[in-house]
Amino acid sequence: MPQKKIYLLRAGFNGSKFQISEKLKEEINKIYELGLELAQPKAVCETYKIDSLPKELIPKSFEGVNSITFFVSTLGYEIDHYISNANTLSSMLMDAWASEAIEAFNESIDKKLRKDFGKGTRRFSPGYSDIDVRKNWDIVNNLLKTEVVVVNKDTGIITPRKSTVCMIGWYDE
């Protein structure tokens, strides 16, 4: 899960510029611990040979790869529920915590995959560069065939909110 320093930076506390009151420190720590309790991290991964994939799912920057691992990751709906129903400060802190938590979770998946597969591309998500964010739906429903998240087919938006679709291309197997 996220480092407290990174969580605080995401929440807007820029290093030593701010004096944080004891009451605020208590809230920051409470949200950090609550995030650990509420998070239900799940991931689904699958690796495909490059020639078995539709061209529109292969980023131009993945030229020369032999296969691509697609994965979807989520922290689950409890985090969303909390963010939607808590007071403004608690919601903002939980949103920051969860943003860093999903990134830390993705980083752990990335490291494990690189250990297993070797040299690969950078981790990439639809919506950046040349893969349309609406391809999230195709990846989740047609490739990964999972219900761990729900993707709006028209927009590519994923729920729960703290969820991602990622891919990494592999040069050697």
Q: Using one digit for the tens of pLDDT, what is the confidence trace for 37-55? A: 999 999 999 999 999 999 9
Q: Is the distance from CB of 70 to CB of 131 less than 8 angstroms? A: no
Q: Which residues, other chains included, contact 65 with Cβ-Cβ below 8 Å and sequence gap of 6+? A: 50, 120, 121, 169, 170, 171
Structure tokens at 128: 């950046």
pLDDT tens per residue, range 87-97: 999 999 999 99
For residue 103, the model assigns a pLDDT of 96
pLDDT at position 16 is 57
For residue 94, give both structure tokens. 């939980």
Return the minimum-mean-pLDDT range out of 10-24, 36-50, 59-73, 159-173: 10-24
Reply yes or no on whether the pLDDT at 124 is more than 70.
Answer: yes
b/e sequence 115-141, b meaning 16+ C-beta within 10 Å: eebeebbebbbbeeeebebbbbbbbbe
Question: What SS3 state is found at 163?
Answer: strand
Does the pTM of the predicted model rise above 0.85? yes
CATH architecture assigned to 2-168: 3-Layer(aba) Sandwich (3.40)
